[in-house]
Amino acid sequence: MTFNKKIHTYLVLLEKMIIREFYLNEETGNLYIEFSTEEDGDDFYRILELTAEDVDFYSPSIIDEDTEIDEDFISEIIIEYLNRNDLPGEEIL
Protein backbone atom coordinates (compact mmCIF):
# COMPACT_ATOMS: atom_id res chain seq x y z
CA MET A 1 0.00 0.00 0.00
CA THR A 2 1.42 3.41 -0.93
CA PHE A 3 1.99 6.05 1.73
CA ASN A 4 -0.79 8.35 0.42
CA LYS A 5 -3.28 5.51 0.21
CA LYS A 6 -2.40 4.43 3.75
CA ILE A 7 -2.96 7.97 5.07
CA HIS A 8 -6.28 8.20 3.24
CA THR A 9 -7.34 4.87 4.73
CA TYR A 10 -6.51 6.07 8.24
CA LEU A 11 -8.28 9.41 7.76
CA VAL A 12 -11.42 7.54 6.75
CA LEU A 13 -10.93 5.30 9.78
CA LEU A 14 -10.63 8.34 12.05
CA GLU A 15 -13.98 9.66 10.87
CA LYS A 16 -15.56 6.39 11.99
CA MET A 17 -13.63 6.02 15.25
CA ILE A 18 -15.12 6.08 18.73
CA ILE A 19 -12.75 6.94 21.55
CA ARG A 20 -14.19 5.00 24.47
CA GLU A 21 -11.74 5.93 27.19
CA PHE A 22 -8.31 7.44 27.66
CA TYR A 23 -6.10 8.01 30.65
CA LEU A 24 -2.78 9.80 31.02
CA ASN A 25 -0.76 8.65 34.01
CA GLU A 26 0.70 11.95 35.19
CA GLU A 27 3.47 10.27 37.17
CA THR A 28 4.85 8.15 34.32
CA GLY A 29 3.49 10.03 31.29
CA ASN A 30 2.10 6.78 29.88
CA LEU A 31 -1.11 7.05 27.86
CA TYR A 32 -3.84 4.38 27.77
CA ILE A 33 -6.45 4.61 25.00
CA GLU A 34 -9.49 2.42 24.28
CA PHE A 35 -11.14 3.01 20.93
CA SER A 36 -13.22 1.23 18.35
CA THR A 37 -13.83 1.61 14.66
CA GLU A 38 -17.01 1.21 12.67
CA GLU A 39 -15.74 -2.15 11.43
CA ASP A 40 -15.39 -3.29 15.07
CA GLY A 41 -19.10 -2.72 15.70
CA ASP A 42 -20.37 -2.75 19.26
CA ASP A 43 -18.70 -6.04 20.16
CA PHE A 44 -15.02 -5.07 19.97
CA TYR A 45 -12.60 -2.34 20.94
CA ARG A 46 -8.88 -1.77 20.62
CA ILE A 47 -6.29 -0.77 23.20
CA LEU A 48 -3.32 1.43 22.54
CA GLU A 49 -0.81 1.84 25.38
CA LEU A 50 1.97 4.32 24.81
CA THR A 51 4.97 5.20 26.95
CA ALA A 52 5.83 8.83 27.64
CA GLU A 53 8.47 8.60 24.89
CA ASP A 54 5.88 7.22 22.45
CA VAL A 55 3.47 10.04 23.30
CA ASP A 56 6.20 12.62 22.59
CA PHE A 57 7.10 10.84 19.35
CA TYR A 58 3.55 10.52 17.99
CA SER A 59 2.31 13.91 19.20
CA PRO A 60 2.05 16.40 16.33
CA SER A 61 3.02 19.21 18.73
CA ILE A 62 5.31 19.72 21.70
CA ILE A 63 3.73 18.55 24.94
CA ASP A 64 4.08 20.58 28.11
CA GLU A 65 2.11 21.02 31.34
CA ASP A 66 -0.37 23.30 29.52
CA THR A 67 -1.18 20.79 26.79
CA GLU A 68 -4.84 19.85 26.88
CA ILE A 69 -5.33 16.10 26.62
CA ASP A 70 -8.75 15.87 24.97
CA GLU A 71 -10.37 13.74 22.26
CA ASP A 72 -8.86 15.87 19.47
CA PHE A 73 -5.38 15.37 20.90
CA ILE A 74 -6.02 11.63 21.31
CA SER A 75 -7.27 11.39 17.70
CA GLU A 76 -4.09 13.07 16.46
CA ILE A 77 -1.94 10.66 18.47
CA ILE A 78 -3.84 7.66 17.06
CA ILE A 79 -3.48 8.90 13.47
CA GLU A 80 0.25 9.50 13.89
CA TYR A 81 0.61 6.05 15.47
CA LEU A 82 -1.30 4.42 12.61
CA ASN A 83 0.87 6.17 10.02
CA ARG A 84 3.74 3.94 11.23
CA ASN A 85 1.96 0.92 12.71
CA ASP A 86 -0.95 -1.43 12.13
CA LEU A 87 -4.17 -1.22 14.11
CA PRO A 88 -3.90 -2.82 17.55
CA GLY A 89 -5.71 -6.15 17.91
CA GLU A 90 -9.38 -6.37 18.74
CA GLU A 91 -10.58 -7.01 22.28
CA ILE A 92 -14.04 -8.37 23.11
CA LEU A 93 -16.31 -6.10 25.13
Cα 23 to Cα 29, 72, 92: the distances in Å are 10, 14, 20
Cα 32 to Cα 13, 24, 48, 54, 74: the distances in Å are 19, 6, 6, 11, 10
Determine the pLDDT at residue 2: 61
Would you place residue 16 in the very low, low, confident or very high pLDDT band (cuts 50, 70, 90)?
Answer: confident
pLDDT in tens, 24-59: 998 998 999 999 877 666 678 899 999 999 999 999
Q: How many Å apart are CA 87 and CA 67, to the nearest integer?
A: 26
Is 10 a residue whose pLDDT tops 90? Answer: no
Is 8 a residue whose pLDDT tops 80? Answer: no
pLDDT in tens, 68-91: 889 989 988 998 998 899 889 888
